[in-house]
Amino acid sequence: MSAPRLTKGAVPATRGVVGTSMRRVDAAEKVTGAARFTGDLVVPGMLHGRVLRSPHPHARIARLDIAAAERMPGVQAVLTGGDLLGATFAGTDPYYGHAIKDRPIVAIDRVRFAGEPVAAVAADDLAAADEALLAIQVDYIDLPAVTTVQAALAAGAPRLHEGPLRPGLFHGLGELRLEEGNICYHYHFARGDLNRAFAGADEVVEGEYTFPAVYQYAMEPHTVIAQWGADGLTVWACCQHPYLVRAELADVFGLPLSAVRIIVPYIGGGFGSKSYTKMEPITAALARKAGRPVRIVNRVDEAMVTTRRHNMTCTMRTGAMRDGLVVARQCRIWLDTGAYADNGPRVAATAGDAAPGPYRWQAVDVDAWAVYTNTPPAGSYRAFGAAHLSWIGESQIDALARKVALDPLEFRQRNLLRPGEEVRPGGKPLDADLIGDVTKVAAAIGWGGPKPPLVGRGVSVGLLTAGAHPVSTAAIRLQADGTAVLLVSTSELGQGARTVFTQIVAEELALPPDRIRVMGADTLFTPYDRSTGASRSTTLAGKAVQHAAVNLCEQLLEIAASAWGLPRASLAVRDGAVWHETERLSYPDLIKKHFGMVGGELIGRGEVRPQHGTGSYAEGPVFWEVCVGGAEVELDPQTGQIRVRRLASVADVGKAINPQLVEAQEEGACLQGLGNALFEEMLFEDGHLVNGSLLEYRVPTTADLPDEFRSILVENADGPGPYGAKGVGEGALAAVPAAIVNALADLGIDMRQLPLTPERVWRRARELGLAPRRDRS
Amino acid sequence: MDGRAPSMRIALTVNGRPVEAAIEPRELLLDFIRDRLGLTGAKRSCDVQVCGVCTVLLDGQAVSACCTLAYEARGREVTTIEGLAAGGHLHPLQEAFIAHAAVQCGFCTPGMILTAATLLQDVPAPTPEQVKAYLKGTLCRCTGYWKIIEAVVAAGRRTQEARE
Amino acid sequence: MLQPFEIHEPATVAEASRLLARHGDDATVYAGGTELIPVMRDGLAQYRHLVNIKTVPGLDAIAPAGEMLRIGALATHRMIERSPAIRAHAPVLAQVAAGVANLRVRNVGTLGGNLCFAEPHSDPAAVLIAQGATLVLARSDAERRVNADGFFVGIQQTVRMPDEVLVRVEVPARRPGAGAAYARFALHERPTAGVAAVVVLDGDAVTAARVTVGSVGPVPARVPEAEEALVGRRPDPEVLREAAGRAGGAVEVLEDLYGSVEYKRHIVTVLASHALDEAVARARGRGH
């Protein structure tokens, strides 16, 4: 049975749990320190692992001698690339990678980035493991390194990957073409006649832009425990996508899916840094060699060379008419994906798709390349694609508005797509009221009102392809006493998935929330959910949960109808029972009737799959997540420092299952956006990360909070999720840098590089001849 | 004696209970608490005293356990998040964090609550500005801090009202 | 990771000094440990013997002593921040202590440890130099006095001998007509730049001035060029601006992650301007 159809614009009435700011079901555990993360778990016989990492960005391994390390007290095993080709790992494919299988579990013969694992040690304690690392002897022969996109694309540049690239299991991008040289992936689309459109344009703006490598900094670093047993491989890990990791590990180690079990405790932040496969293969391989369970915990500097956001250069030009209508945009994007693809192809595709922005174009032409370099691999980070491009496209929109003497808000109102319009050919039409959204956000920052000197305002609008792949299942086990256990494989990263699902089950099954138990993902028990990311969990896994609850209701209604000899339509579910007028049969009553004893259970199941086509990236997205933000900033021209006075973002969520948690996600996304905009930047010198510590990599603190922040909730019941919901939590991260860049442009300072460090802003202000404010006396 | 073997005996109080242990001089307080005492509320993240997830209280003062020797806890009172709730009742800060959704992933939460507890000892009903300044050195990557500040202010107000 | 070591618990400064002498390069003074533990853990320094001077009583005392204020080397930044004597006698020191690192480091980190570790990106040293402070080093039974502006000789290098223990800092009494201020600029955990200024007015003329710039060069340093631009002149805005400009121009600046040389010079000028303005205002406020 399908969920009730909703009329557009009507926010559905519910029984009163969905739509309330119910307390998080995991909060009590977390505030008392009882919540267990992977690093808090100990498995009997567990060894502690440490990884030896290459100091060179590109080198051959001439000699690797682990004999001394192996003999050290407390050392139980040392793993090297050579092992992967030997007898212990017969049947193992040493390469993994969900998009492109280009990543060896441990370096084999060659290292491609400074920080690449070369060996791993399992010992009785960390001190012994650390000592053993020092005893491993490695001779490297330096190879010429290409540590920038420019160097990697130059003629004669050394190739990072020889031979044909092998597609991974889950790239989801249709056919993966092999590219030339160090190009990992190329994405291109075009429509309309670009040259004609630009030729006819009254105004054209163009520029070159630079975007930094940024570190997700989930506060819990990557942590994995792996254990081999008679029934296969068990892994406890901070995985955002346990089922994808399971598939990869099964593929790598030549195991059936059912022989690989992934258990996911609470995760201390994900933000994409724990998406797909990261430290699981090396931990599993080390455990296999050791013949005992092994736990590996990354240090923060190791986590930073495990994954990061793609740095990027971009050229863009946009044309518009004097009357304020845009006509054409051309964009070329080069993303530095580091030494291995990780999610590079997907990031390139979403960056390309984000480049046009949600506007009505006559012609668009976009190329995006993901390029291999000898730097640590880049992967997913919240709002990828839109975070990369929104600030660029939106700054050109503002520049054009100024050229045709139109207010930037009005310019957008004229050009933004409306709900139902095509965003890209063959894909999902726009499902959000962007004009309404941006108008609200502008009002929230006082748009149009008087501005003190050195204060600027900016707004931004963008779209994110959200939902990833729409495949999710869920099951609910209704116990003999009427309590329910929800089985769903969404990872609890902090976003509140377990709470939202509890609310949905409570709503559909008319059960008090405290009678519902939801556990974390365990692939042995919780059924398939494709992934936790791309803002998909409430919308898709939540939908599967809703279906499972509805399916359970059906079963309960059937049993009651049969017991009473009444038609189904005359019965209703309410307060943990099925009712006919004033007569009731509670769930325990119904279960007892069904099984003839006190015992047994009813199992409801729910499933979400593509409604048409294959649910591929090109056919989607599942929904468009809005990236709408506004910023009011004050500039200190003496130092170039920007103070954010007001910040606003729009959470266009269709239906807020838990409004407080929506707001909480928005607040976090905005502050990450602020960090990305103002100071977050990974600094590399010749492929070496030079600020690999929180002392030198700055993340936002309470001191960086804007004076005022507003999260505007928009509920138009226009999402494909339960009750018309659609996801949230990423858009603000893309919108905030764009809004801040535009707020600075409002002051006449156009910036072409992020982050907007005080030095960079100061230099640009000086170049533009902006006089410093008089000294305060 | 090369310092490699546990060569020192220390006696301390942890969450009100006496503890005696043999430690190596080089043992870090964070590892002692987590691995030897099984109190895993304190976490490890940045390891350079910046983030605050390793915060425990030593004689009521917040310290970074990741860079503190276990030796420094000898003869002193250690308070971890597990020791904050008294007699089965949550501390007002814990209740406020729950009520105000000031918890998301939860990794920073123990350190954040302990730090806020020391503020409330000092300044019973702090203003939002005071809370912001006090928590400047304790990081959170999920919440954006707003709800944490609200929660601490609310807990402070509630504690003061209870006293009056 | 931390290599194994022994912890020694001297009862007196002399005993501490003897332990340091006996173990030479293998030994170091251990106070708050906030800078020592991380460098040892990262393998940047190795010591098999930690001499824990926290077991020597009285080294954390803060007390006036005649015309000066004595600050024990083991006084933590938190103690300095809250000390009534320092707030009365040298409030800029309390202000600076309140801004060091974060509250966990301030609870444990000591002034002496901060000075002896001599991390360039740091605040307290610049202020002490501007105040004309003296550092007292002890070895066995003898004490040696070193002016703060002669204590620092390079990045993480001081004139302290390996067997010497910094026991206290002495800050001279406030002179009549003196005003002190400190302005800093920080984007990271550690400051990018800091300027400490002490200006003494007699009527409408500057009779003495000390301007110290910290965090931008290998050591915190006075800038005589800036001081000369002030002494004997009226503290008018143009005079102060000129002195600030000289501070930015003359100080030694190293380029690093915190900024380019050009930007740092500019920031120093901006900070010096603020610090001088405030120092003069305070000097006038005290007046006679």
In order of start, what are the domains of chain A with their CATH numbers?
27-35+471-608 (3.30.365.10), 385-468+616-767 (3.30.365.10)
Contact C263 A698 (CB under 8 A): no
Q: Which of A302, A678, A690, A775 to mutate to test the interface with C (most CBs of C within 10 A)?
A: A775
Coil vs helix vs strand at A712: strand
What is the ipTM metric for this complex? 0.97
Q: Mean pLDDT across the stretch C256-285?
A: 96
The residue written with tokens 């901060």 in the block is C114
Cβ-Cβ contacts under 8 Å, C60 against chain B: none
Q: Say which CATH number the domain at C238 has.
A: 3.30.390.50
Q: What is the DSSP letter of A359?
A: B
pTM for this predicted structure: 0.96
One domain for residues C139 and C83: yes
Question: In the listed set C114, C139, C172, which residue is the last one of a domain according to the structure?
Answer: C172
What are the structure tokens assigned to A360, written together?
């009505």
Q: Is residue B86 a part of any domain in this protein?
A: no
Q: Is residue B39 a part of any domain in this protein?
A: yes
Q: Is residue B15 a part of any domain in this protein?
A: yes
Q: Is residue C288 a part of any domain in this protein?
A: no
What are the structure tokens assigned to C260, written together?
């380019």
One domain for residues B110 and B58: no
Q: Is residue C238 a part of any domain in this protein?
A: yes
One domain for residues C41 and C68: no
Question: In the listed set B79, B114, B130, which residue is the last one of a domain according to the structure?
Answer: B79
One domain for residues C84 and C151: yes
One domain for residues B101 and B127: yes
Q: Say which CATH number the domain at C27 has.
A: 3.30.43.10
Q: Inter-axis angle of helices A242-253 and A280-290, to 10 degrees? A: 50
- How many domains does chain B divide into? 2
One domain for residues B75 and B110: no
Contact A639 C267 (CB under 8 A): yes
One domain for residues B13 and B42: yes
Which helix H or strand E contains C127, and what residues bound it? helix C124-130
The residue written with tokens 């309404």 in the block is A436
One domain for residues B13 and B70: yes
Measure the CA–CA gap between C10 and C17, rounded to whole angstroms. Answer: 9
Catalogue the long-range contacts made by A65-73 (C-beta closer than 8 Å, 24 or more residues apart).
A65/A136, A65/A137, A65/A138, A66/A119, A66/A136, A66/A137, A68/A135, A68/A136, A68/A137, A69/A119, A69/A121, A69/A132, A69/A133, A69/A135, A69/A136, A70/A132, A72/A123, A72/A128, A72/A131, A72/A132, A72/A135, A73/A128
What pLDDT shows up at residue A455? Answer: 97
Query: Which strands make up the sheet holding A623-636, listed edge to edge?
Result: A455-466, A623-636, A641-652, A708-714
Nearest neighbour of A758 by CB, restricted to C187, C190, C277: C187
pLDDT digits (tens, 9 = 90+) for A293-330: 999 999 999 999 999 999 999 999 999 999 999 999 99
One domain for residues B159 and B97: yes
Q: In the complex, which subunits touch A with 3 or more CB pairs below 8 angstroms?
A: B, C
Q: Beta-carbon neighbour count of residue C205 at 10 Å?
A: 14
What pLDDT shows up at residue B110? Answer: 98
pLDDT digits (tens, 9 = 90+) for B91-147: 999 999 999 999 999 999 999 999 999 999 999 999 999 999 999 999 999 999 999
pLDDT digits (tens, 9 = 90+) for B49-100: 999 999 999 999 999 999 999 999 999 999 999 999 978 899 999 999 999 9
What are the structure tokens assigned to A774, written together?
């008089």
Measure the CA–CA gap between A673 and A650, rounded to whole angstroms. Answer: 14
One domain for residues B110 and B74: no
Q: Is residue B84 a part of any domain in this protein?
A: no
Q: What is the DSSP letter of A539?
A: I
Measure the CA–CA gap between A768 and A436, rounded to whole angstroms. Answer: 35
Interacting residues of A587 by C-beta distance below 8 A, sequence separation 6+? A478, A482, A556, A576, A577
Measure the CA–CA gap between A486 and B41, rounded to whole angstroms. Answer: 26
Nearest neighbour of C188 by CB, restricted to A638, A695, A775: A695
Contact B145 A36 (CB under 8 A): no
- How many domains does chain C divide into? 3
Q: Is residue C244 a part of any domain in this protein?
A: yes
Residue A121 to residues A52, A78, A738: CA-CA distances in angstroms? 8, 4, 45
Domain of residue C43 covers 6-55
Note the maximum CA span of chain A.
88
Measure the CA–CA gap between A377 and C243, rounded to whole angstroms. Answer: 49
Q: Is residue C1 a part of any domain in this protein?
A: no
Measure the CA–CA gap between A489 and A707, rounded to whole angstroms. Answer: 39
One domain for residues C15 and C94: no
One domain for residues B75 and B108: no
Q: Is residue B2 a part of any domain in this protein?
A: no
Cβ-Cβ contacts under 8 Å, A28 against chain B: 90, 94, 98
Q: Say which CATH number the domain at B152 has.
A: 1.10.150.120
Cβ-Cβ contacts under 8 Å, C267 against chain A: 639
B108–chain A Cβ distance below 8 A for any pair = yes
What are the structure tokens assigned to A195, written together?
């040259």
Residue C8 has pLDDT above 90, yes or no: yes
Q: Which amino acid is at C67?
A: E
One domain for residues C211 and C241: yes
Q: Is residue B85 a part of any domain in this protein?
A: no
Q: Is residue B87 a part of any domain in this protein?
A: no
Q: A219 to chain B: nearest residue by CA?
A: B45
Q: Is residue C273 a part of any domain in this protein?
A: yes
One domain for residues C96 and C189: no
Question: In the listed set B79, B108, B125, which residue is the last one of a domain according to the structure?
Answer: B79
Q: A494 to chain B: nearest residue by CA?
A: B105
Q: Say which CATH number the domain at C149 has.
A: 3.30.465.10
What pLDDT shows up at residue A13? Answer: 54
Q: Mean pLDDT across the stretch C226-239?
A: 97
* A82-93 core/surface letters (b: 16 or more CB in 10 A; e: else): ebbeeeebeebb
Contact B106 A268 (CB under 8 A): yes
Measure the CA–CA gap between C137 and C73, rounded to whole angstroms. Answer: 10
Cβ-Cβ contacts under 8 Å, C48 against chain B: 3
Q: Say which CATH number the domain at B41 has.
A: 3.10.20.30
Question: In the listed set B79, B104, B126, which residue is the last one of a domain according to the structure?
Answer: B79
What pLDDT shows up at residue C287? Answer: 41
Quote the Cα angle for C283-C286-C288, to 5°: 110
What pLDDT shows up at residue B1? Answer: 37
Q: C190 to chain A: nearest residue by CA?
A: A695
One domain for residues B56 and B104: no
Domain of residue B62 covers 8-79
One domain for residues C41 and C102: no
Q: Which of C263, C269, C277 to mutate to test the interface with A (most CBs of A within 10 A)?
A: C263
pLDDT digits (tens, 9 = 90+) for A546-590: 999 999 999 999 999 999 999 999 999 999 999 999 999 999 999
Measure the CA–CA gap between A696 and A685, rounded to whole angstroms. Answer: 15
Q: B86 has which bridge partners?
A: B89
One domain for residues C123 and C77: yes
Nearest neighbour of C270 by CB, restricted to A130, A638, A683: A638
C263–chain B Cβ distance below 8 A for any pair = no
What pLDDT shows up at residue B86? Answer: 79
One domain for residues C74 and C41: no
Q: Beta-carbon neighbour count of residue A62 at 10 Å?
A: 10
Q: What is the DSSP letter of B32?
A: I
Q: C9 to chain B: nearest residue by CA?
A: B71
One domain for residues C150 and C184: no
Low-confidence ranges of chain A (pLDDT < 50): 1-10, 773-777
Those of residues 18-77 in B touching chain A at CB distance below 8 A are: 34, 39-48, 50-51, 53
Tell me, rounded to whole angstroms, the distance of Cα A594 from its chain centroid. Answer: 44
One domain for residues C126 and C103: yes
